[in-house]
Amino acid sequence: MDPILVDKKKHVAIVTINHPPANTWNLGTMEAFEKAVDDLEADQAVRVVIITGAGDTYFSAGFDVKDAANGPIISPKGRRLWTKIERFSKPVIAAINGYAMGGGLELALACHFRIMANAPDTVIGLTELNLGIIPGWGGTQRLTQLVGKDRALDMILFSKTVNATEALDMGLVSRVTSSERLMEEAMDFAVKLAQRPPIAVGCVLKAVSTGIYEGLEKGLKVEEEGAGVVRATEDCKEGFTAFVEKRPPVFKGC
Protein backbone atom coordinates (compact mmCIF):
# COMPACT_ATOMS: atom_id res chain seq x y z
CA MET A 1 0.00 0.00 0.00
CA ASP A 2 1.39 3.37 -1.03
CA PRO A 3 1.39 5.69 2.02
CA ILE A 4 1.05 8.77 -0.20
CA LEU A 5 -1.21 8.86 -3.25
CA VAL A 6 -0.99 11.55 -5.94
CA ASP A 7 -3.68 12.24 -8.53
CA LYS A 8 -3.38 15.04 -11.09
CA LYS A 9 -6.18 16.74 -13.00
CA LYS A 10 -6.80 20.23 -14.43
CA HIS A 11 -3.41 21.61 -13.26
CA VAL A 12 -4.30 20.41 -9.73
CA ALA A 13 -2.55 17.65 -7.78
CA ILE A 14 -4.43 15.85 -5.00
CA VAL A 15 -2.08 14.36 -2.41
CA THR A 16 -3.74 11.81 -0.13
CA ILE A 17 -2.20 10.64 3.14
CA ASN A 18 -2.89 6.91 2.97
CA HIS A 19 -1.59 5.35 6.19
CA PRO A 20 -4.54 3.70 7.96
CA PRO A 21 -6.14 3.67 10.34
CA ALA A 22 -5.39 7.28 11.33
CA ASN A 23 -3.08 8.54 8.56
CA THR A 24 -0.22 8.97 11.00
CA TRP A 25 3.34 9.81 10.08
CA ASN A 26 5.97 7.11 10.29
CA LEU A 27 9.31 7.30 8.49
CA GLY A 28 8.05 5.60 5.35
CA THR A 29 5.07 7.93 5.03
CA MET A 30 7.25 10.97 5.65
CA GLU A 31 9.78 9.91 3.01
CA ALA A 32 7.04 9.23 0.45
CA PHE A 33 5.50 12.64 1.18
CA GLU A 34 8.87 14.34 0.74
CA LYS A 35 9.32 12.73 -2.67
CA ALA A 36 5.80 13.71 -3.73
CA VAL A 37 6.33 17.31 -2.65
CA ASP A 38 9.64 17.55 -4.53
CA ASP A 39 8.09 16.05 -7.67
CA LEU A 40 5.12 18.42 -7.57
CA GLU A 41 7.30 21.47 -7.12
CA ALA A 42 9.27 20.49 -10.22
CA ASP A 43 6.16 19.69 -12.30
CA GLN A 44 5.30 22.88 -14.19
CA ALA A 45 1.92 21.45 -15.22
CA VAL A 46 0.84 21.45 -11.56
CA ARG A 47 -0.30 24.87 -10.37
CA VAL A 48 -2.18 24.02 -7.15
CA VAL A 49 -1.91 21.21 -4.59
CA ILE A 50 -4.66 19.76 -2.37
CA ILE A 51 -3.67 17.66 0.66
CA THR A 52 -6.27 15.39 2.28
CA GLY A 53 -6.50 12.13 4.21
CA ALA A 54 -7.69 8.72 3.02
CA GLY A 55 -11.08 7.66 4.32
CA ASP A 56 -13.65 9.85 6.01
CA THR A 57 -12.50 9.79 9.64
CA TYR A 58 -8.95 11.17 9.77
CA PHE A 59 -7.09 13.88 7.94
CA SER A 60 -4.08 12.92 10.04
CA ALA A 61 -3.58 12.07 13.70
CA GLY A 62 0.04 13.21 13.62
CA PHE A 63 3.13 11.23 14.66
CA ASP A 64 2.93 7.44 14.51
CA VAL A 65 3.91 6.34 18.02
CA LYS A 66 4.49 2.80 16.69
CA ASP A 67 7.54 4.19 14.92
CA ALA A 68 8.95 5.93 17.97
CA ALA A 69 12.37 4.43 17.29
CA ASN A 70 12.61 6.67 14.22
CA GLY A 71 11.37 9.74 16.08
CA PRO A 72 14.76 11.48 16.00
CA ILE A 73 14.63 11.26 12.19
CA ILE A 74 10.90 11.85 11.66
CA SER A 75 10.53 14.99 13.78
CA PRO A 76 13.26 17.10 12.11
CA LYS A 77 11.99 15.94 8.73
CA GLY A 78 8.44 16.95 9.68
CA ARG A 79 9.54 20.40 10.79
CA ARG A 80 11.47 20.91 7.54
CA LEU A 81 8.74 19.56 5.27
CA TRP A 82 5.91 21.50 6.92
CA THR A 83 7.99 24.66 6.48
CA LYS A 84 8.53 23.73 2.84
CA ILE A 85 4.74 23.49 2.43
CA GLU A 86 4.26 26.93 3.98
CA ARG A 87 6.92 28.35 1.65
CA PHE A 88 5.82 26.29 -1.36
CA SER A 89 5.92 28.02 -4.74
CA LYS A 90 2.33 26.94 -5.52
CA PRO A 91 -0.85 27.33 -3.43
CA VAL A 92 -1.51 24.39 -1.12
CA ILE A 93 -5.01 23.64 0.19
CA ALA A 94 -5.68 21.37 3.16
CA ALA A 95 -8.98 19.52 2.68
CA ILE A 96 -9.55 18.47 6.29
CA ASN A 97 -11.81 15.44 5.93
CA GLY A 98 -11.69 14.31 9.56
CA TYR A 99 -9.68 14.51 12.77
CA ALA A 100 -6.52 16.61 12.45
CA MET A 101 -4.49 16.23 15.60
CA GLY A 102 -0.94 17.13 16.59
CA GLY A 103 1.38 16.94 13.61
CA GLY A 104 -1.61 16.42 11.33
CA LEU A 105 -3.06 19.79 12.28
CA GLU A 106 0.41 21.31 12.08
CA LEU A 107 0.55 20.22 8.44
CA ALA A 108 -2.84 21.82 7.78
CA LEU A 109 -1.64 25.01 9.49
CA ALA A 110 1.31 25.12 7.09
CA CYS A 111 -1.01 25.04 4.06
CA HIS A 112 -2.07 28.33 2.48
CA PHE A 113 -5.79 27.52 2.80
CA ARG A 114 -7.82 25.15 5.00
CA ILE A 115 -11.26 23.78 4.12
CA MET A 116 -12.84 21.59 6.80
CA ALA A 117 -15.66 19.07 6.65
CA ASN A 118 -18.36 19.77 9.24
CA ALA A 119 -18.69 16.14 10.31
CA PRO A 120 -20.37 15.05 13.57
CA ASP A 121 -17.95 14.77 16.50
CA THR A 122 -14.93 15.65 14.31
CA VAL A 123 -12.49 17.99 16.04
CA ILE A 124 -8.99 19.34 15.46
CA GLY A 125 -6.34 20.42 17.93
CA LEU A 126 -2.77 20.39 19.18
CA THR A 127 -3.07 17.98 22.11
CA GLU A 128 0.59 17.13 22.64
CA LEU A 129 0.69 18.44 26.22
CA ASN A 130 -1.57 15.55 27.23
CA LEU A 131 1.48 13.38 26.55
CA GLY A 132 3.90 15.69 28.34
CA ILE A 133 5.37 16.97 25.05
CA ILE A 134 4.79 20.10 22.97
CA PRO A 135 3.82 20.76 19.34
CA GLY A 136 7.14 20.43 17.56
CA TRP A 137 6.37 20.69 13.85
CA GLY A 138 5.56 24.42 13.80
CA GLY A 139 2.28 24.44 15.72
CA THR A 140 3.24 26.95 18.40
CA GLN A 141 4.08 29.54 15.76
CA ARG A 142 1.50 28.93 13.03
CA LEU A 143 -1.49 28.54 15.32
CA THR A 144 -0.55 31.79 17.06
CA GLN A 145 -0.30 33.60 13.71
CA LEU A 146 -3.76 32.41 12.71
CA VAL A 147 -5.83 32.78 15.89
CA GLY A 148 -3.79 35.10 18.13
CA LYS A 149 -1.64 34.46 21.18
CA ASP A 150 -4.41 34.08 23.79
CA ARG A 151 -6.44 31.55 21.83
CA ALA A 152 -3.37 29.64 20.71
CA LEU A 153 -2.05 29.33 24.26
CA ASP A 154 -5.48 28.32 25.55
CA MET A 155 -5.74 25.57 22.93
CA ILE A 156 -2.19 24.30 23.32
CA LEU A 157 -1.73 24.52 27.10
CA PHE A 158 -5.08 22.84 27.83
CA SER A 159 -4.99 20.51 24.79
CA LYS A 160 -8.35 21.90 23.68
CA THR A 161 -9.97 20.74 20.47
CA VAL A 162 -12.46 22.63 18.31
CA ASN A 163 -15.11 21.55 15.82
CA ALA A 164 -15.52 22.93 12.31
CA THR A 165 -17.81 25.81 13.29
CA GLU A 166 -15.52 26.91 16.11
CA ALA A 167 -12.48 26.63 13.84
CA LEU A 168 -14.15 28.84 11.25
CA ASP A 169 -15.20 31.43 13.83
CA MET A 170 -11.64 31.81 15.14
CA GLY A 171 -10.05 31.92 11.69
CA LEU A 172 -8.36 28.55 12.03
CA VAL A 173 -9.93 27.32 8.77
CA SER A 174 -10.84 29.27 5.65
CA ARG A 175 -14.24 27.68 5.05
CA VAL A 176 -16.48 24.83 6.19
CA THR A 177 -18.60 22.47 4.12
CA SER A 178 -20.27 19.07 4.37
CA SER A 179 -18.24 15.86 4.23
CA GLU A 180 -19.96 14.96 0.99
CA ARG A 181 -18.99 18.22 -0.72
CA LEU A 182 -15.50 18.67 0.76
CA MET A 183 -13.42 17.44 -2.18
CA GLU A 184 -15.76 19.00 -4.72
CA GLU A 185 -15.44 22.42 -3.10
CA ALA A 186 -11.69 22.02 -2.61
CA MET A 187 -11.32 21.09 -6.28
CA ASP A 188 -13.50 23.99 -7.44
CA PHE A 189 -11.41 26.40 -5.38
CA ALA A 190 -8.17 24.84 -6.65
CA VAL A 191 -9.27 25.10 -10.30
CA LYS A 192 -10.03 28.80 -9.81
CA LEU A 193 -6.59 29.31 -8.29
CA ALA A 194 -5.01 27.38 -11.16
CA GLN A 195 -6.55 29.85 -13.62
CA ARG A 196 -4.60 32.71 -12.05
CA PRO A 197 -1.20 33.66 -13.59
CA PRO A 198 1.18 31.02 -12.16
CA ILE A 199 4.35 33.14 -12.17
CA ALA A 200 2.59 36.02 -10.43
CA VAL A 201 1.02 33.63 -7.92
CA GLY A 202 4.46 32.21 -7.13
CA CYS A 203 5.90 35.70 -6.67
CA VAL A 204 3.11 36.63 -4.25
CA LEU A 205 3.62 33.45 -2.20
CA LYS A 206 7.36 34.05 -2.06
CA ALA A 207 6.95 37.67 -0.96
CA VAL A 208 4.41 36.80 1.74
CA SER A 209 6.45 33.92 3.17
CA THR A 210 9.64 35.98 3.07
CA GLY A 211 7.96 38.72 5.08
CA ILE A 212 6.81 36.18 7.66
CA TYR A 213 10.15 34.42 7.97
CA GLU A 214 12.62 37.22 7.32
CA GLY A 215 10.79 40.42 8.20
CA LEU A 216 9.04 43.33 6.49
CA GLU A 217 12.08 44.92 4.87
CA LYS A 218 13.16 41.69 3.21
CA GLY A 219 9.56 40.92 2.22
CA LEU A 220 9.24 44.28 0.49
CA LYS A 221 12.49 43.64 -1.37
CA VAL A 222 11.22 40.29 -2.64
CA GLU A 223 7.93 41.94 -3.62
CA GLU A 224 9.85 44.52 -5.64
CA GLU A 225 11.84 41.76 -7.35
CA GLY A 226 8.63 39.87 -8.13
CA ALA A 227 7.05 42.95 -9.67
CA GLY A 228 9.99 43.16 -12.05
CA VAL A 229 9.75 39.47 -12.93
CA VAL A 230 6.05 39.52 -13.83
CA ARG A 231 6.33 42.63 -16.00
CA ALA A 232 8.45 40.64 -18.45
CA THR A 233 6.06 37.67 -18.75
CA GLU A 234 3.70 36.73 -21.56
CA ASP A 235 1.00 36.42 -18.91
CA CYS A 236 1.39 40.12 -18.17
CA LYS A 237 0.82 40.92 -21.84
CA GLU A 238 -2.16 38.57 -21.91
CA GLY A 239 -3.66 40.17 -18.81
CA PHE A 240 -3.52 43.70 -20.24
CA THR A 241 -4.68 42.54 -23.68
CA ALA A 242 -7.64 40.66 -22.22
CA PHE A 243 -8.57 43.71 -20.17
CA VAL A 244 -8.62 45.94 -23.27
CA GLU A 245 -10.51 43.33 -25.25
CA LYS A 246 -12.99 42.83 -22.42
CA ARG A 247 -12.51 39.07 -22.18
CA PRO A 248 -11.27 36.66 -19.53
CA PRO A 249 -7.49 36.21 -19.63
CA VAL A 250 -5.95 32.83 -20.39
CA PHE A 251 -2.70 32.53 -18.45
CA LYS A 252 -0.10 30.00 -19.60
CA GLY A 253 2.59 30.40 -16.97
CA CYS A 254 5.19 32.01 -19.20
Q: Can you tell me the distance from the alpha carbon of 142 to that of 220, in angstroms, rounded to the nearest whole number?
A: 21
Concerning whether 31 is annotated as a catalytic residue, the answer is no
Concerning whether 180 is annotated as a catalytic residue, the answer is no
Q: Can you tell me the distance from the alpha carbon of 253 to that of 51, in angstroms, rounded to the nearest whole number?
A: 23
Distance of CA 195 to CAs 46, 63, 69, 91, 237, Å? 11, 35, 44, 12, 16
Of the listed 31, 34, 128, 225, which one is catalytic? 128
Beta strands in 107-205 (DSSP E): 113-117, 124-125, 161-162, 175-177
- Count Cβ atoms below 10 Å from residue 167 Cβ, excluding itself: 26
| Secondary structure of 57-80 in HEC code, one letter for each residue | CEEECCECHHHHHHHHHHHHHHHH
Of the listed 31, 41, 106, 234, which one is catalytic? 106
Beta strands in the chain (DSSP E): 4-9, 12-17, 48-53, 58-60, 92-96, 99-101, 113-117, 124-125, 161-162, 175-177
- Residues marked active site are found at 106, 128
